[in-house]
Structure 1
Amino acid sequence: MTLGRSSTRARAAFLAVAAAGALAAGLAFVWPARVACGGAWPAPLDDVYIHANFARATASGHPFEWIAGQGYSSGETAPLYPLLLAPAFWLGLRGEAVVAFAFGLAALALATACAKLRDLQGQGGALALAGGLTWVSVGALAFTWFSGMEAAAFFAVTLAALASAESARSGLRGRAQAARSAGRWGAAMVALRPEGLLLVGLFALLAARGARSRSPWPPLLRVALPAALVQATVMAANRALTGDLASAGARLKLLASNPYLDDVARTKEVVMNLLSFKWKVLDTDLGPAALAALGALGLLGALGRRTRHATLACVIGALGFSMLVSLNGAARYQGFRYYAPALGLALTAGALGASELGRLARSRALGVASLVALALLTGARAGAARRFFTQASENVHLQQVAMGKKLSRELPGDAIVLVGDAGAIPFFSERRSVDALGLGGYRRLPFVRAAVLGEGAMLEQLERLAPAERPTHFALYPTWFPLATGLFGRELAHVTIENNVICGSPTKVLYAADYAPFGAGDDRDLGSPPTALGGPVDCLDVADVQSEEAHALVAPTPNSGYVGARVARLEGPGLPPEARRFDAGRAIAEDRALSFVARGLGARAARRLLVRGDDDGLDLHVSAPGGACDLRAERRPGAFTHASCDALQVGDGDTVSLTARGRESRVYHVWLAEPER
C-alpha cells in the first residue's frame, strides 16, 4: 500500500514537472503574440473559435451545435474537444480567456504524453522529459500545440493508446485489460480526429502481435472496436440529422469531394501537399542535421528488441498519417497543423531510439543528451514559426475578433449574419449566424454540399429560406463571395489588416443584405417559366442541391459543370416589366452532357421541354429514350434566354440528356410540361 502511494505521488510529481515545462515552453512561444494582440490571449487560427462556439453551445446544454438553438451540425470534426473546453464557460471564462484555457489544456495534454512516453521507454523520467522537449522545440509543432486547437489532446491520447497497445503485446499479465485500455484511448482518438482511425487500426495489429499461438482476434477487436463504434455513431448521427454520412469538414475539404477535379489534378494536389510539408517543415523547421539525427535514433529504436514494435508503429503511423492528411485540400495551410500528429510520432520514434542508445551505452545520460541536442538543433530554427504565430495571431485579432466585437456593439440582437468558415465573428458577436460554407447547421439545409459546388449553389439555399430566416447581414470576404456581396450586399463597414499571413483576405466587409433579386411574395422567381406552359409537371432547378438530387442529376464533371449565377432580365407571368431576377446554373462544355431523371410525369408521352440559359444563348442537343430534338436560343444581352421543343417523348423515370453543341452553354432551369394545343 505504501509502495502504491509512493508510485502515485511520483507519477503526480512527474506530471507536474512535465506540465510546468510545457507551460514554460508554450509561454515563451506565444508571449510575443500576446504582446502584439494588446494583452489579449492570442489565437493564430480563426478555427480555434469554431471549437469555442461548439463548446459554448455544449456548456449551455446544446451539444453538437455550432450556435445554441440552431440544431445539430456535423462541422465539428473533433466532437470530444468541445466537451473538454466546456468547463471554461462553467468557470465563467469569456472571450479570449477561453483560448487561454485551451492553452492550459494543451500543456496538460503534453505532460500526459510525456508520461506515456516514459511508459514506452521503460526508463527514468529525465529521458521522457527530454523526448517531450523535442516536441515543443520544432516550430511547426509548437505553432499547432499552442494554437488552441485539438492537436495536443489528440497526440496525448494517441500515445496513451500506443502505450496500452504495446503493453497488450508485450505484457506477461493483464493483456486483455491493456487491450481494453487501448480501445478506450482509441475511441477518444477518433472523437478528436477522424484520421485517428488509421492509427487505431495499426495499434490493434500491434496488440494482436502478442497473441502468439492464441487467436489474434480478441485483442484486435478489443482495441479496434470502440473506435469503429464511435466513428459509426458519428456517421449515423450525421445521416439522421443532416441527410449526409460524411461530416461537413470532409465534404468541404477532402480532394475526393471536389467534383471539378479529375484524378490527375487530385494527384497533383496530394504531391504538392507532401512537397510543401517537406520544404516548409522538414527542410526548414528541422533541417538536414536534425533529420539525420532523428533518422539515426529512429533506426536504433527499430533495431532494439524492447523498442522495436513501438518504434515501427510510430514510423509507419507517421508515414500513413501524412499520406492520409495529404488528401485534405487544406493540408498545406494553417501552419501545417494537420501534419502535427505525424511529426510528433516521428519524434517519439526518435525518443524511443534514444532510450535504446542509453541502454546500449549503459548510460541514460547519453540518451538524454542525444534528445537535448536534437531539441537544440530544431529550437535554433523555431524563430520563423514564432514570428508566424505572432503575425497570424495579430491578423486574427485585428480582423476576425475586431469584426465580431463590432457586430456585437452595432447590430440588433435579432440580426442574422452570413459568414464564411468563420469562428471569431459569431463567437464575439453572439448573433445567430449562417455559415456559407456549411460548417454550422442551419434549418437542416445542405449548405456544405452547396458550397462544394460553388457560390451560386449557396445562394440557391438562401433563396429557399423564408425571408424572416435569411441573414440580415453579411460579414464576408468579397474576394471569396463576389456574387453574394456584389448582387445582394450593401457595404456598411470594413476591416483591413496589413501583413496578412493567415486570413482569407486582408479586408473583411460588413454588408446589409438586400434580397431584391430573389423577388418577394408573388414576385419571387421560384422556377416560374417565362410563359404559361399549360401546367408544367416537372421542374429542374439547376445548381439547387435538393432539386438536382431529386432528379438524380449527373453533371458534366470533371473540368466542366461549374456552377455560376447571375441577375438578369426575366419575363414571365406575374413578373413586372424589366424584372431582374437571380438564378444559378451550370456550364456544359462543348460536346459534354448534363443528364437528369424526369420525375412525376406518368407514362411516356409527348411533352414540351423548356430550357433557361443566360444571355449568351443556348445550343443544345436533347435526347431521351423516346426521341431527340435540338434547342437553340440567340444571344440577348442582359436577359435570360429560353428555348423549347414541343414533342419530346418523355415519361416518369426517363433520363434526359442535354449536350452542348459547338460551344459551351449554361443551363439554369429545365421544365417539362404538356405540349401546347
Structure 2
Amino acid sequence: MTTVEDDRVRDEPDAATGAPATRPAARRPWWSGLDPAAWGLGALALVVALGFLLVNAAYNQGRFAPPLDDVYIHLQYARGIGLGQFLQYQDGMPPSTGASSLLYVLVLGAAFALGAQGGLLLYAAIGFGVVCTVATTVLAYHLGRSVASRATGIVTGLLTALCGPLLWAATSGMEAGLVSALAVGTVLAFVHEQAAGRFPWTAALGVLLSLTRPEGLVLTVAVLLGAAVTLVQQRRRGLASRRDLVVAAVPLCLPLLAALGQRLAYRALTGSAENSGVVAKSWLYQPLDAPLEVLDRVVTHAREVVETYGGLTGVPLVAPGTLLLAAVGLASLALGEPRRRVLAGVLALGLGGLVVAVSTLTSTLTHNGRYVTPFLPLVLLLVAVGIRTLARAVPRHGRVVAAAVTGVIVLVSVVTVPTWALRSAQQGAGIRESSVSVAQWLRGNTPPGSVVAVNDVGATAYFADRPVVDLVGLTTNGIAAPATEGTGALYETLARLPAAQRPAYFSVFPAFMGIDYTSMSEAGLLSEEPLTSFRSRSPLRPEDFGTVCQVTGGCPEIDVWSADWSVVGSGDLPERPVPGRIVDRVNVGDLADEGAHGYAVDRALVGLVPTTILRGEDRADGRRVVDSGREVVGGEHFTLRGLTPGVPVTVTARIEAREKQGDRNTQAGVVAVGVDGRAAGDWEFSTDDSAFTEDSFVLPGDMITGSEVTVTLGPRQPYLQPYPDYRSFSYWASQ
C-alpha cells in the first residue's frame, strides 16, 4: 500500500530497521497538470472561430472579406506606425486619432514592422483576433471557477465560446477580441489578488485595457474602485498598516495615468484631447443645444442596449431571460461573502457605466453592437452564477434545473452561431463590392496624387493609393465638428483648405450622416452627374439589428464625382450695390465665421436642429453664386463689428423665404429686429420661387452706440405661431 505525500512515495516500513523506506516519485507527464476543461473550451473556441473564417472565405470566392470598412482604418494606421509614422493616416498628413483603439493599432503596427505587410497584415489582424477569442474563453472559464465553482466556470467558458456576436466582432479584424480578453483578464486578476490586498496584475492589465477602448477605461475605473474598497476594508480590520496601504495603492494609479497620458499625447499631436470618433459620433457633440434632448437620446439608447443584451427582444444576440439570470447572479454575489460583495459592486458599476458610455454615441448598436459585445463574457459570468443560484435554491432537483437551463441557453447559442458566421460573410461581400471595389476603380481611373474625399475612409486609403479627406472627420483633423452641422458647414471647412489639399474627387454615398452630396452637385461644387456609380448587387438582408448599411440597403450606392472649386468665394459679396462701404460680413454656415460673430439660431422649439445647407444659383452674366446657410425656425442673433458709432448701418441679407409647398403661413418671412435689446422695427423679406433674394434693413444711427452691436431677428409674437421660417445665408453691414 502506498500513499502520495508531496513529491515522494512512502512505502511499507523496512523489515530490518523498521524505518519507512522511500523512493523517488515517478516523473509525471507534463500534461497531467493541465486543466482538461480549460483546454477543451479553448479548443472549442478555436474551432468555432476558424469556422467563422471558413464561412466568410467560402462566401467570398475563397478570400476572407472584412465585414467592416473600419477594419482598413486600423490597418492603415498600423502600416503608418510600422513605417515609423505614429498616428499618421497617410504620408505627409498630420497625426490624427481616427483609430478607435490605440493599443490595437500599436500591436498591428508591430506586426507590420516584423514583416506582416501587404495582404499579410489583414491576416495577422484576423489571426490575432482568433487568439484573443481563445484567450477570452479560457480566462472566462477561470473567472467563473474562481468566483463560484468549476461547473460555473465551464458554463461561463462554454457560453463565451459559443457567443455569436462576440465571435463576429473578434474575427472581423477590429479590436473587439483584444478588448474582451483584457476585460475578462482584468476582472480575473482583481478576483485573484483580492485576498492578498496587492493588485500588480490588476493594475498592469488595467493600463492595457484603458488604452484599448474608451469603454475599457470605464470598466477599469470600476475595478480600481473595487481594489480601493478592498484596501480600506483591510486597513479597518487591522490587516494592513498605513504604509502597506500606500504601497498597494500606488500601482492602482497607473491605469488612470495611462489614460491621462493618452489624452495629453492626443492634444499635443492633434490639438484635441478627444478621440475624433467620439466628436463625430457622440450626442454630446451634436448640434442639439438642449441638455434634455441629449439626455433623452442617451436614455433611449441605454434602454435599447439593456433590452437587446438582456434577451428582451427578438434579436438573436443572447438567450431569452439573460437579464433575469444575470440579475440573479449579481444579487447572489452581492449577498455573499464580503469579497464577492465588492466584486458585485465592480460588475454592477462597470457594466452599468459601460451602458451609459456607449449610449452617448449616435451609433450605439451600429455594426452589430461592436462597442458592447466585447464585454458580454462578464454578463455570461453573471448568467452562469445565476444558474448556480437557481440550482442551489432547489437542493433536491438542483442539478436537473441547472442542466435544463444551461441546455436551453447552449441550444440557443448553437442555433444562432451559424447565423452570425453568415452575417460576417454577407457583410464582407457588401464591403468588397462597395468600398473595396471603388478604391480599386479610383486607383486605376484617377491621376496619381489626386485628393479624394470619402465618407467611408478605410478601404479607399488602404487600396487606392490616393490622398484622402475624411468627410466624417475620423482621420482628417477639423472635419468632425463641421460634419455634424450639415452640408453647408462641411463645404465651408473644405473651402478653407489650401487649394492643393482640396479634394479633386468625391467618392461618397449620396447622403450620409446628415450630409447631402446631391445638393453639393446641384449647388455646382460637384459635377452635374457622377463619373461612375457602384450599386450593391448583394441581396438585401433584414435590418433586425444594428448591422452594416451596405447589406441592408441603407447605403446601397457609392458615387464618384469630380469637384469644381472655382465656385469658392462666389458668394462673398452681395449681388447688388449697398450704400456706403461694407464693414463686416456674417457668413452663415461657416462655423469659424459664426463663432467670430457670436452667431446662433434662436430656435422656436427645443429639438429643432438648424442644419446648415448649401445653395448655388446661376446669374444672368453666367456666374455661379454658391453660399452656405442655415434653416431657421424662430430667429437668429449675431454681433456686427468694426462699426462707426452714431452712423446708420445698412444690414443686407441673402435670404430664401419662399413658402414651403402646402404651407399657408404667409408670415414666415417677417421678423422683428432688435439692436442690443432695443426694438428697431419689423423686416419683411421678399420672396422668389426660384432663387434666394437680397433685402436690406437700416439700423438707425442713434442705436449704434459703439463699434459693436448685437442684432437679433426673431418672431414678432414670441411663444406662439406663426414662427419666422426661412433660410439665411449671409449678412453684410455697410455704412
Contact 1:262–1:559, Cα closer than 8 Å, also in 2? no
Residues 150-198 of structure 1, C-alpha deviations (whole Å, 9 max, x = no match)? 1221122222322333344322xxx34x1x4323322322221112332
Contact 1:315–1:345, Cα closer than 8 Å, also in 2? no
Contact 1:357–1:366, Cα closer than 8 Å, also in 2? no
Q: What is aligned with 2:518? A: 482
User: Any stretches of 5+ residues in structure 2 without a counterpart?
Assistant: 1-6, 8-28, 236-241, 542-547, 660-668, 717-722
Q: Is the counterpart of residue 621 in structure 1 residue 657 in structure 2?
A: no
Pick from 216, 222, 227 the counterpart of residue 207 of structure 1.
227
Pick from 153, 157, 164 the counterpart of residue 139 of structure 1.
164
Contact 2:657–2:725, Cα closer than 8 Å, also in 1? no
Code of the residue aligned with 1:588 in structure 2: it is V
Q: What is aligned with 2:685? A: 633
Structure 2: distance between partners of 1:563 and 1:452? 9
- Deviation larger for 51-60 or 628-637: 628-637
Q: What is aligned with 2:238? A: none
Please show how residues 90-169 of structure 1 align to structure 2 within 5 Å.
90-94=113-117, 97-114=120-137, 116-117=139-140, 120=143, 121-122=145-146, 128=153, 130-169=155-194
| CA-CA distance at 1:435 after TM superposition | 0.9
Provide closer, same or farther for how the CA distance between residues 166 and 335 of structure 1 changes in structure 2, counting only shifts above 3 A: same
Structure 1: distance between partners of 2:642 and 2:36? 72
Q: Is the counterpart of residue 415 in structure 1 residue 450 in structure 2?
A: yes
Pick from 626, 646, 652 the counterpart of residue 610 of structure 1.
652
Provide closer, same or farther for how the CA distance between residues 93 and 168 of structure 1 changes in structure 2, counting only shifts above 3 A: closer
Contact 1:30–1:42, Cα closer than 8 Å, also in 2? no
SS in 1 for 2:361: coil
Code of the residue aligned with 1:623 in structure 2: it is G
Contact 1:166–1:206, Cα closer than 8 Å, also in 2? no
Q: What is aligned with 1:499? A: 539
Code of the residue aligned with 1:587 in structure 2: it is E
Q: What is aligned with 2:481? A: 449
Contact 2:654–2:730, Cα closer than 8 Å, also in 1? yes
| CA-CA distance at 1:10 after TM superposition | 6.6
Contact 1:42–1:96, Cα closer than 8 Å, also in 2? no
Q: What is aligned with 2:694? A: 642
Provide closer, same or farther for how the CA distance between residues 526 and 98 of structure 1 changes in structure 2, counting only shifts above 3 A: farther
Code of the residue aligned with 2:691 in structure 1: it is A
Name the larger-Rg structure.
2
Q: What is aligned with 1:58? A: 81
Q: Is the counterpart of residue 83 in structure 1 residue 106 in structure 2?
A: yes
Q: What is aligned with 1:573? A: none
Structure 2: distance between partners of 1:486 and 1:238? 38
Q: What is aligned with 1:657? A: 712
User: Any stretches of 5+ residues in structure 1 without a counterpart?
Assistant: 571-575
Code of the residue aligned with 2:616 in structure 1: it is V
Code of the residue aligned with 1:464 in structure 2: it is R
Structure 1: distance between partners of 2:365 and 2:78? 27
Pick from 370, 386, 398 the counterpart of residue 421 of structure 2.
386
SS in 2 for 1:491: coil
Q: Is the counterpart of residue 509 in structure 1 residue 554 in structure 2?
A: no
Pick from 527, 545, 559 the counterpart of residue 608 of structure 2.
559
SS in 2 for 1:636: coil
SS in 2 for 1:55: helix
- Deviation larger for 539-548 or 314-323: 314-323
Code of the residue aligned with 1:350 in structure 2: it is V
Q: What is aligned with 1:469? A: 501
| CA-CA distance at 1:313 after TM superposition | 2.4
Code of the residue aligned with 1:544 in structure 2: it is D
Code of the residue aligned with 2:494 in structure 1: it is L
SS in 1 for 2:168: helix
Code of the residue aligned with 1:552 in structure 2: it is G
Code of the residue aligned with 1:553 in structure 2: it is Y
| CA-CA distance at 1:603 after TM superposition | 6.3
Please show how residues 61-460 of structure 1 align to structure 2 within 5 Å.
61-94=84-117, 97-114=120-137, 116-117=139-140, 120=143, 121-122=145-146, 128=153, 130-171=155-196, 175-176=197-198, 178=199, 180-211=200-231, 212=233, 214=235, 218=246, 222=250, 225-260=253-288, 262=290, 265-267=293-295, 269-277=297-305, 281=309, 282-283=311-312, 284=314, 285=316, 286-288=318-320, 297-305=329-337, 307-351=340-384, 374-441=409-476, 444=477, 446-460=478-492
Structure 2: distance between partners of 1:126 and 1:393? 37
Structure 1: distance between partners of 2:414 and 2:644? 72
Structure 2: distance between partners of 1:15 and 1:528? 75
Contact 2:288–2:294, Cα closer than 8 Å, also in 1? no
| CA-CA distance at 1:449 after TM superposition | 0.9
| CA-CA distance at 1:482 after TM superposition | 2.3
Residues 245-265 of structure 1, C-alpha deviations (whole Å, 9 max, x = no match)? 433222221123222375565
Pick from 560, 564, 584 the counterpart of residue 628 of structure 2.
584
- Deviation larger for 256-265 or 190-199: 256-265
- Deviation larger for 611-620 or 579-588: 611-620
* Aligned sequence identity (%): 24
Contact 1:625–1:650, Cα closer than 8 Å, also in 2? no
Structure 2: distance between partners of 1:353 and 1:433? 51
Structure 1: distance between partners of 2:248 and 2:593? 45
Contact 1:165–1:207, Cα closer than 8 Å, also in 2? yes
Q: TM-score, normalised by structure 1?
A: 0.85
Structure 2: distance between partners of 1:11 and 1:432? 52
Provide closer, same or farther for how the CA distance between residues 616 and 294 of structure 1 changes in structure 2, counting only shifts above 3 A: closer
- Deviation larger for 222-231 or 6-15: 6-15
Structure 2: distance between partners of 1:632 and 1:161? 65
Which is richer in helix? 1
Residues 93-122 of structure 1, C-alpha deviations (whole Å, 9 max, x = no match)? 456543332222122223433454455433
Please show how residues 529-548 of structure 1 align to structure 2 within 5 Å.
530-531=576-577, 534-548=580-594
Structure 1: distance between partners of 2:164 and 2:47? 15
Contact 2:653–2:696, Cα closer than 8 Å, also in 1? yes
Residues 259-313 of structure 1, C-alpha deviations (whole Å, 9 max, x = no match)? 2375565455445534544565524432336666555555555544364433442
SS in 2 for 1:613: strand
Q: Is the counterpart of residue 667 in structure 1 residue 699 in structure 2?
A: no
Structure 2: distance between partners of 1:600 and 1:241? 36
Provide closer, same or farther for how the CA distance between residues 417 and 631 of structure 1 changes in structure 2, counting only shifts above 3 A: same
Provide closer, same or farther for how the CA distance between residues 268 and 388 of structure 1 changes in structure 2, counting only shifts above 3 A: farther
Code of the residue aligned with 1:320 in structure 2: it is G
Residues 33-61 of structure 1, C-alpha deviations (whole Å, 9 max, x = no match)? 22112122121121111222221222222
Structure 2: distance between partners of 1:406 and 1:343? 39
Provide closer, same or farther for how the CA distance between residues 59 and 150 of structure 1 changes in structure 2, counting only shifts above 3 A: same
Q: CA RMSD in A?
A: 3.8
| CA-CA distance at 1:626 after TM superposition | 7.8
Structure 2: distance between partners of 1:94 and 1:670? 54
Contact 2:486–2:613, Cα closer than 8 Å, also in 1? yes
Structure 2: distance between partners of 1:147 and 1:552? 45
How many pairs were matched up? 650
Code of the residue aligned with 1:542 in structure 2: it is V
Residues 601-646 of structure 1, C-alpha deviations (whole Å, 9 max, x = no match)? 5768643322221363953333222855343331234433222233
